[in-house]
Amino acid sequence: VQTSLYRDTEIFDLITKENNRQLHGIELIASENFVSPQVMEAAGSVLTNKYAEGLPGKRYYGGCEVVDQVEQIAIDRLKALFNLTWANVQPHSGAQANMAVFLACLQPGDKILGFNLSHGGHLSHGSPVNISGKYFQPFFYGVEQETGLIDWNKVEETAHKERPKLIICGASAYSRDWDYVRLRQIADSIGAILLADISHPAGLIAKGLLNDPFDQCHIVTTTTHKTLRGTRGGVIMMRNDFPNPFGITTPKGEVRMMSSLLDSGVFPGTQGGPLEHIIAAKAIAFGEALTENFYNYAIQVQKNARVMATEFVNRGYKVISDGTDNHLMLIDLRPKGLTGKIAENSLIQADITVNKNMVPFDDKTAMTTSGMRVGTAAMTTRGLVEKDMVRIVDLIDDVLMNHDKATTVAAVKKEINTWMQDYPLFQF
Ligand code: PLP
């Protein structure tokens, strides 16, 4: 083991390697992005040294005058971005944000209804291997096999049959928009709370490019590092606060507001001290997202995804739901005689990063899968536009159709490495 108090070259050499990997390749993982230099600087700042349990102005530690201001700015910018009355910016990740909501709203054993993981949902929405599926009783809705779309009537049927206390909408691999109005009607008809997890499309929603969930969904969570293009993390938001519907009271017998329950759900419910360096980086990213430049970025992400989906379809690939409204798409590779595992492994040889992904009604395991998921958030940050998407799909097709020919794969890799020299990581 090599250690040094002054310079840990073992780790810094690996960071340099990772930097080069990101720089030289094409990043299509739908949940990834490249943050700006100032977001990175804040994430690596002295704020990491500070303990600040509690909320701005109400801390359990001294010396919080500066981080109080940082955290308040993060909250205020997030409120401005999504037109909110309340937000908590402390969740360390998207899964933590969801866990805090569950703790605030539910009792162990309560029923929840979420989007099926194998149809594009997220682990933290009731998967049996996640705390959400172990401590609560999960039920699921999915997409239709023929269309790849969610049938809202079927969601309603399941909701009426199982009567969950919480309905979750949002996904990790669903390329279409959500009918929040219909979902709220369904939630109201059974007295359920409606939670939207907008982790993937948050950046597009912030700029009005997709349906706005905030008037319909009681609570909204998101990660901050996907289309929102911030540091890794999570947040919980509400446009309107409300007295909790399940009669949870304070020790004095007063009904608690949902905001107070959610704050407690984060700390002390599921976390200790907040990461103030990460909250500073979130504040900067929210500031960036408030700009006109970010609107142009978000629009380009969406345009790039549409072109990419069309190009895949034109080359005979099966895009689930035949297209996309947001930044991502899910591709069933079975018509091409490939698995997700083969696709992921062969594309990485050419420095193209995608992830293998289950497709709805998949007949393969999660380690093999029949599909791959691709998204445009990261490459749009590097400055690529529609014509570049055509070229990327060409290169992907070249690799997939010749995945056993090392010379073809090596030629594609060379082309990509040369091409990417013109595109710094953060450009847009
Ligand atoms: N929710 C959704 C819809 C996601 O797609 C993800 C991550 O991919 C998460 C939650 C979890 O976020 P994290 O990895 O930050 O815990």
DSSP letter string, 286-308: HHHHTSHHHHHHHHHHHHHHHHH
How far is it, in rounded angstroms, from Cα 392 to Cα 199?
A: 25
In single-letter form, the type of residue at position 238 comes to M
| Structural tokens at position 313 | 């379809």
HSE toward the beta carbon, residue 199, CA cutoff 13 A: 30
CB distance 123 to 117 below 8 Å: yes
Nearest atom in ligand 1 to 233's CA: 15
Active site residue 232: yes
- pLDDT at position 170 over 80: yes
How far is it, in rounded angstroms, from Cα 246 to Cα 105?
A: 8
Residues framing ligand 1 (Cβ under 6 A): 31, 93-95, 122, 124, 170-172, 197, 199-200, 223, 234
State ipTM: 0.99
pLDDT recorded at residue 6: 81
Across the range 138-166, mean pLDDT stands at 97
Tell me the average pLDDT of the chain. Answer: 96
pLDDT recorded at residue 114: 98
Across the range 135-151, mean pLDDT stands at 97
pLDDT recorded at residue 195: 98
Across the range 164-174, mean pLDDT stands at 98
3-state DSSP call for residue 219?
strand
Question: What are the CA-CA distances from residue 369 to residues 20, 23, 126, 141, 365 (Å)?
Answer: 29, 28, 21, 20, 5
Q: Which of 59, 77, 184, 226 is catalytic?
A: 226
pLDDT recorded at residue 428: 73
Chain segment 181-232, per-residue pLDDT in tens: 999 999 999 999 999 999 999 999 999 999 999 999 999 999 999 999 999 9
Centroid of ligand 1 to alpha carbon of 94 (angstroms): 5
- pLDDT at position 251 over 90: no
pLDDT recorded at residue 426: 85
Q: Which of 232, 282, 306, 373 is catalytic?
A: 232
**Residue nearest to ligand 1 atom 9, measured at CA:** 94
Q: Does the reported pTM lie above 0.95?
A: yes
Centroid of ligand 1 to alpha carbon of 286 (angstroms): 18
Chain segment 282-308, per-residue pLDDT in tens: 999 999 999 999 999 999 999 999 999
Mutating to test ligand 1, I would choose from 116, 117, 122 the residue with most ligand atoms within 8 A of its C-beta, which is 122
pLDDT recorded at residue 103: 96
Helices (H), 244-325: 258-264, 276-289, 292-314
pLDDT confidence bin for 374, thresholds 50/70/90? very high
Active site residue 223: yes
Burial class (CB in 10 A: 0-12, 13-18, 19+), 32: middle
CB distance 170 to 137 below 8 Å: no
Burial class (CB in 10 A: 0-12, 13-18, 19+), 10: exposed
Mutating to test ligand 1, I would choose from 199, 266, 327 the residue with most ligand atoms within 8 A of its C-beta, which is 199
Centroid of ligand 1 to alpha carbon of 199 (angstroms): 6
Q: Report CA 386 to chain centroid distance, whole Å.
A: 23
How far is it, in rounded angstroms, from Cα 246 to Cα 255?
A: 9
In single-letter form, the type of residue at position 163 comes to R
- Is 121 annotated to bind a ligand? Reply is yes
Give the β-pairing of 111-115 and 166-169.
Answer: parallel
- pLDDT at position 245 over 90: no
pLDDT confidence bin for 5, thresholds 50/70/90? confident
How far is it, in rounded angstroms, from Cα 112 to Cα 124?
A: 11
Active site residue 53: yes
pLDDT recorded at residue 54: 98
Across the range 251-279, mean pLDDT stands at 95
- pLDDT at position 1 over 80: no
